[in-house]
Chain A
Amino acid sequence: MIPPKFDYHRPTSVQEAVQLLQSSPEAKVLAGGHSLIPLMKLRLAAPAAVIDIGRIPDLRGIQALDSGELRIGACTTHHEIATSQAVQRAAPLLAEAAAQIGDRQVRYRGTIGGNLAHADPASDLPAVVVALNATLQAEGPQGSRSIPAAEFFVDLMTTTLQPGEILTQIRVPALGQGTGSCYLKFEHPASGYALCGAAAIVSLNPDGSCAQARLCFNGVSARPVDAAAVAQALVGSDLSDGAIDAAVEDHLRVPDPVGDIHASASYRQELAKALGKRALKAARDRARG
């Protein structure tokens, strides 16, 4: 399997990359290449030019601000995120999800920016950045802009990134004290991609009741699903198993659930219920410490 021909550029700065992208509209950005190269080998993608942003120093690395916020370069690999102590401390949900992506080889090459920009509904990171209220920084001919994660994903493989824009950084606020989180995934046994992935975050009041909750899903719809009604129903509850089960049973609605040869829409909805309950309970247990 040999990709079709293309011109290759390896810019050394974000500015240069944006300029190159502007001067060749048929170009594709290449980060880790672990979604794009397989598509090119199968000839499902045939960009006239490839702009390799994988070595731009500004796009790599993880910085933790004094406020606790994480600033993660778009070209930081899944491996770097999964094994970063700063991420494990401030946003363990992200580290836990990154560690479940693909296999070791994939995690050494694949990047967070590529994963989000690719917007595959079966990917693991989209629902996680939505659950964490992350902000995505993009750079384009008009300068830079911030996009709340909840607004980034538009449809299957479609984001709000405009032609000519590059995702540069992912900003993740730190989870507060008394907060627990959990990412659970039900994999397709052959591909390892998520048939359903559940990202849960639970914060406790001093008396142990639920102060805040968040529950988001990958894999069940064309874009990440934010089960805000479930979270709302949990606030103020005692977070008992019964309270969690009831909140999920009564309030989980998956808009436009996807069904395909691997799993029907109704099966995926059942998976979402089961994984959602389990992820919330695990997050609660971790919050309790």
Chain B
Amino acid sequence: MHDLRKSYGDREVLHGLDLAVETGEVFALLGPNGAGKTTTVEILEGYRRRDGGDVCVLGTDPEQADADFRARIGIVLQSSAVYPTLTVEEIVALFAGYYPAPRDPDEVLVLVGLEDKCRARVRTLSGGQLRRLDLALALVGDPELIFLDEPTTGFDPAARRQAWNTLRGMRELGKTILLTTHYMEEAETLADRVAILRNGRIVATGPPRALLAEHVAVEIRFRRDGEEVVIDTDEPTRVLHELTAEALAAGVELEALEVQRRSLEDVYLEVTREGA
């Protein structure tokens, strides 16, 4: 997509986004609430109309989305919604019937870890189980491209890890995945590439490691005279060498010495704070 713009009323919320997601890639759109993640994803899914720019998804303009296009994408919306009176297996089978070449519904339920709940009514599911059902409905059509808008928000850590495993499995099948999240850890562990969105602008983009490398990458902490010293550097070898040489020469110990690679979270906080 190129120079994507969107306004609600006279308020422009996307100010010209450029983004390209490669086939087979897991791409994370990271940003705080209100940054424009959902707006962007729903434009790509064909739900919302853009006010400017060019968008091409699987060779189609999503505003012209037809059944063929929709058969090739899977969608997890930010908030889940399915018929509460159906059972889990009924709704998955119903959705499977909408697609020309669906996966086996039972297999999909195993994949998302809902096989024990297959006869439960949807309205009896917990929030996390509903989210997994959403994921099942997104996967059952066997799509090439999967959109996930905050797929693990509200999950406990174990459920999140399981969802990550499911998504990794999808990647191994060659699926392209575009997910939004405000969990750095999620982007860092899952994504091949990340774009950080702030106030409708992309402020950083690249593989998580490259984003880290671009920004101050390593943090060195120790205590001197009872005071904590923190040094941020992208030349940790030289800095450490100088520090330890100095300490050796003075015959003192660098107390509580710690060398830490900075996480994507730090980078994220840094770029989303700048000028905000």
Is B a genuine binding partner of A? Answer: no
Which residues of A are interface residues toward B (Cβ below 8 A)?
none
